[in-house]
Amino acid sequence: MSAFRAASPAELDSACKVEFARDSFVHGPVRLSSRGWIVRNVLPINFEAYGAVITPWKTSDERGFQPPGTGNNFTGLAEAYRYFSREMPRPLSLERWHDDFCVIEQEKTLPAMFRGIMDRVSSHAQTIYIRCYADFDAAVFNWKIDRALFFALNDPFLEMPYPRTDFQIFPAGVEWFIHHHDSEPIMYLAASESVIAELSGALPDQFIRLNLDDIYY
């Protein structure tokens, strides 16, 4: 039995008091910018700061998948540049990372430090809500889970009743908001400046600061 329980759309709507841009996908078909999808199209716009948490990934070259082997992945960014004897750009953007590598998502294991920080800053909330968009023209699933249990899971997506395609995740009170698309090893995060700064310091190899006009992958 899944730890994720069904919730009504009205319950999530009541809990999710955030502001989305007029060109957000939540309002219907998106009129894309000249650069394609951008962060503003998926994350709410009424937060102080934004960032991306990197989950395990691989790349590929003429030799095949790198690093080779099942379960042998990059868990961060600098290690991939070292692996290929390349100098890592500083600052590194999501756009430059995708220009430098063919990024291939692996399991959605959330960094333990990330889970610990987010659990602490959400300690007032008993519930985490998840809205799963199976596809833009398909069903929308609404779930909830106890906060402590959610952050105890290394890969919470593995336990969800439906494992794809786009996910919105937020606690009651919405101190933060995550958007994740299942084809990319990226958790897009909106939060306070203090939370984004703490994550950036705690996860220097697994976190990239974002702006709302940055490209969304």
Q: What is the pLDDT along the chain (217 residues), one digit of tens a residue?
A: 689 999 999 999 999 999 999 999 998 888 887 889 999 999 999 999 999 999 999 999 999 999 999 889 999 999 999 999 999 999 999 999 999 999 999 999 999 999 999 999 999 999 999 999 987 667 899 999 999 999 999 999 999 998 788 999 999 999 999 999 999 999 999 999 999 999 999 999 999 999 999 999 9
Name the CA dihedral angle for 198, 202, 205, 211, rounded to a multiple of 10 degrees.
0
Q: First-to-last CA distance in the chain?
A: 32
Question: What CA–CA distance (Å, rounded) separates 171 from 118?
Answer: 10
